[in-house]
Structure 1
Amino acid sequence: MSSIRLFILGSLDQRGPMHGHGLLLLAEEEHIDLWTDFAASAVYGAMKRLAAEGLIVEDRVERQGNYPERQVYRISDAGRIALHDLRRQGLVEIVIKPDPVDLALARLDPEGLDELPVIIEERLARLRTHLEEYTTHLEEVDKYLSVAEVWSMRHQLSRWRGEVAWHEELLTALPDIITDEKELSTKGHD
């Protein structure tokens, strides 16, 4: 499932023909980087691919003031079919990506065990800060969002809360983890 394709096709379907810069402004306005898995900088490349596939088509060329000419695109009939499929995929598929912390935790450095609590405390502090910033941001933009957009952002917020809770539990389990790792390390050298 491609989030950027869904964003572009969905935006053109809902808002009408737009040029790439307009899509970038929309992504910025909707703070897409906070609740999707793509960077707005990928919009132009994705638009080229969508146009090559016939999912978006040239609508007109626009020029405003001294700005360069901009190609305005609209969604095609084939694009609407693809959009329908992307929307369905987005609702059906479950995506939870692995976090490198899990592998690092499973393969701890025996020489760095004593510094592990500080590393996890710092990581937890960064997560709490991000959660606080995200919560504040959601409260600030809530009034500008549709009900569905609020729920999308709340989903991300619940994921951050889950990360904070897991790290808090990990922090309390660290003495047992460190003891176990030291014992394993000693057994490995026998």
Structure 2
Amino acid sequence: MSSVRLLVLGSILRSGASHGYKVYSDITSWRADTWTNVKPGSIYHALEKLESQRLIQPVPSQSEEKPGPSRTEYSVSEKGKEEFYSLLEAALKSSDIQSFSVGVAFMEMMPRTEVLALLQERHTLLLHSAQFLKSLPTSEFPSDPSKHPELVGLWVRYVESQAEHTLRMLQHIESGQYGFREHHVKEENE
């Protein structure tokens, strides 16, 4: 659910204000269903939950008058911005590929130095995880699945691959690739 919350809050923050269908359109146009487990129903559920928690708030519509029913537009509250950055920081450190993917999608909304620090932390955690996985006992005839050499090997290679990719990202960002905000969105409005 935190990935969906991060996607919804990030979509609204990028737009300034947005109605539910626009949030849905943004997320589907990003093809987020291919790199997360987001489903259409979860987007609308997240909108309702975020509104009930006062993380988003209804605002007067900025769109031109169109025929048909009016749509409620939302903006992200100050509390919602805090939630967004908390979720974004957690996602950029996460070893879970789907959470990390959502973090990468919004990393430009943070200052470069903060993103570098979070990615360095992720890289270190992944290296420790790989080292731990390599220390697990295996058996040619395992009595339980956790000792199967193919299973342990699969996870070692997966975690090492994630560590290598994170290191490449760090190198790209350190070399000046990609645009980043100077300050958090919440600081720009103060």
- TM-score, scaled to structure 2: 0.48
Query: Which of 1 and 2 has greater Rg?
Result: 1
- TM-score, scaled to structure 1: 0.48
Q: Is the helix fraction higher in 1 or 2? A: 1
